[in-house]
Structure 1
Amino acid sequence: MDINEWWGLVERAREAAGDRADDRDPPDDPLPDALTDVLAALEPARIVDFAVTADEVTASACRWPLWNAAYVIEGGCGDDGFMDFRDGLVLLGREVFTRAVADPDSLAALPVVVRMSRGESGWIGYETLEGPVRRAYERTGGTADAFRTAVEAADRGRIRTGEPGGATWDPEDDGLTRRHLPRLAALFLE
């Protein structure tokens, strides 16, 4: 799937979710269902293409500086948490995602991050993009098993990097974090 088409589908879901598109925290988060609705209008093969492209997009964000930013924002971040963080970052849209991958410190400007720094509710992450995508596939008459099989077949042969890219540092070292992520450090470090 063309990356512009892929991001266009995410944006259509964001538009359908309206002013609540950036809030992953409440149990009635409208964006996942909006994404399911947008994708369910596609042919099953296009939904599989969306899933494969989603894997590529989130893999592009597998970078140590972004992981360390997630660590600072969330007060810790393991493997699963970083996958959730990247999936949620996708749901914030192309501009926020691209900027955050290039400059993780830019996340300090997001209202949800500012709220989180004050101990208020909020979360960037999302448990898994696979959920809304799989539900869209099922709405077209497919099964969860058929979806997984189709995605595995479409994804076969693609090379995945194991280690995150970019320079890393110990995110618990306040001095290094202040140097690498000064705006986030100003929000989260005392």
Structure 2
Amino acid sequence: MDINEWWGLVGRAREAAGDRADDRDLPDDPLPGALTDALAALEPAQIVDFAVTAYEVTASAYRWPLWNAAYLIEGGCGDDGFMDFRDGLVLLGREAFTRAVAHPDSLAGLPLVVRMSRGESGWIGYESLDGPVKEAYVRAGGAADGFHAAVEAADRGRIRAGEPGGENWDPEDADATRLHLPRLAALFQA
């Protein structure tokens, strides 16, 4: 799937969710359902292509500086948490995602992150994009038990990164964090 088409589908879902599109902590989060609706209008094979492209997009965010930003924002972030963070970052849209991957400190400019720094409600992470994508696949006529096999077959032969890219530092080292993520450190470090 063309990356512009892919981000267009995410954008359409965000538009449908309206002013509640940026916070995954809402009890009635509208964005996953809006994404399912946008994808369900496609053919099952196109939905599989969306899933494969989603893996590529989130893999591009598999970077230490972003992981350390997630660690700071969330008060800790392990492997599963960083997967959720990257899936949720996708749901913030192309501009926020691209900017955060290139400059993780830019996350300090998101109203959601500012609210989180004040201890107010909010959450970036999303458990898994697979849920809404698989639901759309079934609604479009694909077999529920065949979704993962179809994605694996379409994804076959792609090389996955073993270690995150970029410079790493101890996210609990306040001085190093202030050096690498000054805006986020100002929000989250006491």
Structure 1: which 5+ runs fail to align?
none
Aligned mates of 2:165, 2:144 — CA distance in 1: 32
> What is the rounded CA distance, in whole Å, between the counterparts of 2:144 and 2:95 in structure 1?
31
Q: Which letter does structure 2 place at the counterpart of 1:92?
A: L
Q: Are residue 163 (structure 1) and residue 138 (structure 2) matched?
A: no
- Give 2:187's aligned amino acid: L
Deviations 1:2-43 (A, max 9, x none): 000000000000000011011111120000000000000000
In the alignment, which residue of structure 1 is the partner of 2:129? 129
> Greater shift after overlay, 18-27 or 170-179?
18-27
Q: Take 2:145 and 2:11, find their aligned partners in 1: how far apart are those partners? A: 28
Residue of structure 1 equivalent to 2:172: 172
- SS state at 2:162 partner: coil
Who is 1:52 aligned against?
Answer: 52
Which one-letter code corresponds to 1:119 in the other structure? G
Letter in 2 for 1:60: S
1:104-140 deviation per Cα after TM superposition (whole angstroms, max 9, x unaligned)? 0000010110111111110011010000000000101
1: distance between equivalents of 2:157 and 2:24? Answer: 33
Deviates more, 1:138-147 or 1:156-165: 138-147
Tell me the distance in 2 between the aligned counterparts of 1:65 and 1:55: 19
Q: State the partner residue of 2:63.
A: 63
Deviation at 1:142, TM superposition (A): 1.9
Q: What TM-score do you get using the length of structure 1 for normalisation?
A: 0.99
The residue aligned with 2:18 is 18
TM-score normalized with structure 2 length:
0.99
For residues 122-164 of structure 1, give each alpha carbon's deviation from its aligned partner in whole angstroms, at most 9, with x where no partner exists: 0011010000000000101223221111000000100101100
For 2:66, give the aligned amino acid: L
Aligned partner of 1:114 in structure 2 is: 114
The SS at the match of 1:48 is helix
CA distance in 1, matches of 2:87, 2:154: 20
Counterpart in the other structure of 2:87:
87
Deviation at 1:176, TM superposition (A): 0.3
Question: What is the rounded CA distance, in whole Å, between the counterparts of 1:179 and 1:72 in structure 2?
Answer: 13
RMSD between aligned residues = 0.5
| Structure 2 segments unaligned to the other structure (5+ residues) | none
State the one-letter code of the partner of 2:76.
G
- Count of residues in correspondence between the two structures: 190
Residue 48 of structure 2 aligns with an amino acid whose one-letter code is V
Quick one: distance in 2 between partners of 1:17 and 1:50? 19
Superposed CA offset, 1:34-78 (max 9, x none): 000000000000000000000000000000000000000000000
Letter in 1 for 2:116: M
Percent identity over paired residues: 84
